[in-house]
Chains A and B, each alone.
Chain A
Amino acid sequence: MQEITVAVSGRPMVAWRIAGRKPPVVCVHGAGVSSREFQPFVEVLGRRHDAWTVDLPGFGASAGPRHPLGLRALADALVEWLTAVDLDQVVLLGGSLGCQVAVDAAARHPDRIAGLVLVGPTVDPAARSFLHQLLRWMRNAPHEQASMAPLNLADYRDAGARRIVGTFAEALRDRIEDKLPHVVMPTLVVRGAQDRMVPQEWAEEVTRLLPAGRLAVVEKSGHMVPYRQAHALAGLVTDFLTHAFPAAGAGGMSGQRRSAR
């Protein structure tokens, strides 16, 4: 896996990549966490596709401003980063809050985004409060793998408490349901069957609101499907890419545009 660093708004943004077939799939992490949880998934997906995972500004290895960025600014930073690494017509694969960032980017930059995969999209409007989300998070915890905890702790250390709280508050403010009807590109919605953060009825509502959405449920998984069921998710994404972008699969390797560090 290559580590690739480029400057976005004067600050380094770090991503990891395994080169493969087009279209490129860019994984966007959730609130407080980073690419760490996506790397096992990228290793699986990278066997067949051009797979990327990027740290948003202020998370993981990417530098950020002192003040946490708002959701829109995170989405703009993501699109700027796409330009910086010369990526176009990408499929954004969001996890949790990463879905909100991906949807915001897709709604405002439809010409840059070819498709979306929304894994465990937040925030369910029926539970849009800190307390509701905390309770759901606690109910979900037993369905996650214990080996993910050290990664989460490292991510929280990198991001800092202020940024985590600020991003979480931003996630609660964001109304993803208002943007979904304007996401015109093919979109796969994925839910872990035991995900307590994203109940089935909300995952269905997300799919229904998307003009070209389709829902898949992954068995034996909580909220963090990419970490818990990397192979199952990679299979779903491959099927999605095959059906949504039949011509793209024949394309060659997308070129390496930045020197590896």
Chain B
Amino acid sequence: MKASEAVASFDSATGMLRALSRFLAGRDIPALGKFPAAFEPPLSGLLGTLNRLPIAARERAYAVSGWAEAIPQRRVGDVRSEALAEWVTGHYPRRRYPVIFIGSANGALIHLAAALDAAWLPQTLLLPVRRRGITPDDPRGDLAAVGESGRALLAANPDLVLHHMHDPNQDRLMIAGMTYFRIKWRRLPAAYRRFIRDHLVPGGLLVCVDCTLSWPTTRIDDRYVFQFGALGDATPEEYRQGGPRVADLLSRYGAPVRRWDPPAADGESPEAEWGLDPALLDDLRAFTGQHRLDTQLLRFDTPQRLSPAVADLYRSWYADRGLPTGRLLVESFLLLEPWWTLRTGSVPYWTVFGTEASRASLEAYLDASDPYDEIRILLFNHGTESIGLADAQDWRRTAARARKIGVLTGVDAVAYPRDFASFVRSHRELSRIRTRYPLPLPLDAAGAAATLSARDDILWRPVH
């Protein structure tokens, strides 16, 4: 089956891949890169009209849009790892890159790659799989319903590990009619090897991105783990043991239970969406040794960790170029705009999600930084009032810390987090900012590595 049909379109890795590859082709990302810019005004109007539907209808629309993207269970065994890898590398313009990143998905990393004129090859992709008759609050039922499909996928693809993920908190609407299969390459696929050989500048740098975040999992098979819950505001303990916030969520959504009953965890695994499976690093080490490539490791403990580091890197880069350094763009999940970030001279600060934890990290960054004149905040709409989600007014208060202009960009505060039009509106509003700057020459990778590795919480070192 075609890889483009199997991979989720509205996922972090896919969104980041689209954002970076379009940037490297000299383009921005209207409508998340899914539609041409000319479609933006009618799309914005149409989706804005959908926002007037009752909440239940909008939630249903979210669930249906997810289901429509997913592949039928009977076709999961037709997915081929090599086709997925070719689909990834096919995004990038056919030229040489001074740096190629490979590994964990991360929004701040996308800005780092944009600054270095680098490509990024993800270790993880999301394959959404349709299934019926299971409620989001029945993780055991989900596992039983699609376990065979997972085994079929692995039997056909010996280089993949399957992280079957079930998050009835943040993905509540999406998993009503589908299952999240996150696949991770434990060996370098041939398409990645070819891409590195053909597109890395001679003497260029290969950097393995290692987010060491882990999560409790249940081992189903040798290469198959089940992850219940995911990184957000709720803790692994809340997912497994329940608590007031879980009971409140379930009550708000009319669930018959007040806590979940997932399969017992029997270990920890790299987090399904963000964590790196270190098996890939071993294979990469062998490959780069064979080809005598300069290989380095960029390691951090949680996705948010890279954001302040990359923001500071951009700020000092702007200062070196003699540009103003007072404009901050706060991005959210897959709402990323590396092209407009640089064109508007904005310092990028990526947040994992719209949670209170993400907002607290941003506040801590602002506490530790020189004040910004302008703060714009994009908010990703996932349709669910999940545990610990900060509302639009909370984010507006954070934006108001700007000295001059503190705004939510592309956000309908009343409709958030069920605002269909935000995917289109955030790009439209960003592209209207009037003070702009030319795109700069890329940053030097050695300088960026030195800046990042000087921080206590980030490791950037050669791979031995």
Q: Which residues of A contact B374 (CB under 8 A)?
A: 204, 208
B52 within 8 A of A: no
**Quick check: B429 and A208 within 8 Å, CB to CB?**
no
How many residues in A have their beta carbons less than 8 Å from beta carbons of B? 14
Q: Which residues of A contact B403 (CB under 8 A)?
A: 214
A201 within 8 A of B: yes
B94 within 8 A of A: no
Q: A199 to B373, alpha carbons, bound, how many Å?
A: 20
Nearest B residue (CB) for A204 = B405
**Least CB distance, A124 to chain B, in whole angstroms:** 10
**Interface set, chain A 188-226, CB cutoff 8 A to B:** 199-202, 204-205, 207-208, 210, 213-215, 217, 219
Q: Which residues of B contact A200 (CB under 8 A)?
A: 407, 429, 432
B252 within 8 A of A: no
* CB 8 Å contact bits of B356-399 with A (1 = contact, 0 = none): 00000000000000000110000000000000000000000000
Q: A65 to B413, alpha carbons, bound, how many Å?
A: 48
Q: Which residues of A contact B434 (CB under 8 A)?
A: 201-202, 204-205
Q: A202 to B434, alpha carbons, bound, how many Å?
A: 8
Q: A164 to B136, alpha carbons, bound, how many Å?
A: 63
**Quick check: B432 and A207 within 8 Å, CB to CB?**
no
B435 within 8 A of A: yes
**Quick check: B433 and A207 within 8 Å, CB to CB?**
no
Q: Which residues of A contact B461 (CB under 8 A)?
A: none
**Least CB distance, A197 to chain B, in whole angstroms:** 16
**Least CB distance, B374 to chain A, in whole angstroms:** 7
**Interface set, chain A 160-212, CB cutoff 8 A to B:** 199-202, 204-205, 207-208, 210
B132 within 8 A of A: no
Nearest A residue (CB) for B435 = A208
- Range of interface residues on B (Cβ < 8 Å): 10 to 19
Q: A205 to B367, alpha carbons, bound, how many Å?
A: 26
Q: A200 to B408, alpha carbons, bound, how many Å?
A: 11
**Quick check: B433 and A214 within 8 Å, CB to CB?**
no
**Quick check: B405 and A215 within 8 Å, CB to CB?**
yes
Main SS of the interface on chain B?
loop
**Quick check: B432 and A215 within 8 Å, CB to CB?**
no
**Quick check: A217 and B404 within 8 Å, CB to CB?**
no
**Interface set, chain B 278-324, CB cutoff 8 A to A:** none
Partner of B404, one of A201, A202, A207: A207
Q: Which residues of A contact B413 (CB under 8 A)?
A: 219
Q: Which residues of B contact A219 (CB under 8 A)?
A: 413
Q: A168 to B373, alpha carbons, bound, how many Å?
A: 33
- Knowing A199-B432, A200-B432, A208-B374 are in contact, say whether A214-B407 is a contact too (CB < 8 A): no
Q: Which residues of A contact B405 (CB under 8 A)?
A: 204, 207-208, 214-215
Q: Which residues of A contact B432 (CB under 8 A)?
A: 199-201
- Knowing A200-B429, A208-B374 are in contact, say whether A215-B404 is a contact too (CB < 8 A): yes
**Quick check: A201 and B407 within 8 Å, CB to CB?**
no
**Least CB distance, B436 to chain A, in whole angstroms:** 11
**Least CB distance, A184 to chain B, in whole angstroms:** 15
**Quick check: A214 and B435 within 8 Å, CB to CB?**
no
- Knowing A200-B429, A201-B432, A201-B434 are in contact, say whether A208-B407 is a contact too (CB < 8 A): no
Q: A3 to B437, alpha carbons, bound, how many Å?
A: 51
* CB 8 Å contact bits of A107-145 with B (1 = contact, 0 = none): 000000000000000000000000000000000000000
**Least CB distance, B452 to chain A, in whole angstroms:** 31
Q: A199 to B413, alpha carbons, bound, how many Å?
A: 18
Q: A126 to B115, alpha carbons, bound, how many Å?
A: 31
* CB 8 Å contact bits of B429-450 with A (1 = contact, 0 = none): 1001111000000000000000
Nearest A residue (CB) for B327 = A208
Q: Which residues of B contact A217 (CB under 8 A)?
A: 407
**Least CB distance, A66 to chain B, in whole angstroms:** 40
Q: A210 to B435, alpha carbons, bound, how many Å?
A: 14
| Residue of A202, A217, A219 with highest tally of chain B CB at under 10 A | A217
Q: A83 to B373, alpha carbons, bound, how many Å?
A: 36
Q: A210 to B374, alpha carbons, bound, how many Å?
A: 13
Q: Which residues of A contact B429 (CB under 8 A)?
A: 200-201
**Least CB distance, B52 to chain A, in whole angstroms:** 15
Q: A248 to B374, alpha carbons, bound, how many Å?
A: 28
**Least CB distance, B422 to chain A, in whole angstroms:** 15
Q: A213 to B406, alpha carbons, bound, how many Å?
A: 12
Q: Which residues of A contact B435 (CB under 8 A)?
A: 205, 208
Q: Which residues of A contact B433 (CB under 8 A)?
A: 201, 204
Q: Which residues of A contact B404 (CB under 8 A)?
A: 207-208, 210, 213-215
Q: A219 to B374, alpha carbons, bound, how many Å?
A: 20
**Least CB distance, A1 to chain B, in whole angstroms:** 33
The 4 closest A-B CB pairs, nearest first, are A201-B432, A215-B405, A205-B434, A207-B404
Instruction: List 19 additional contacts besides A208-B435, A215-B404; criterion CB under 8 Å.
Output: A199-B432, A200-B432, A201-B429, A201-B433, A201-B434, A204-B405, A204-B407, A204-B433, A204-B434, A205-B434, A205-B435, A207-B404, A208-B405, A210-B404, A214-B403, A214-B404, A215-B405, A215-B406, A215-B407
**Chain A interface (Cβ < 8 Å from any Cβ of B):** 199-202, 204-205, 207-208, 210, 213-215, 217, 219
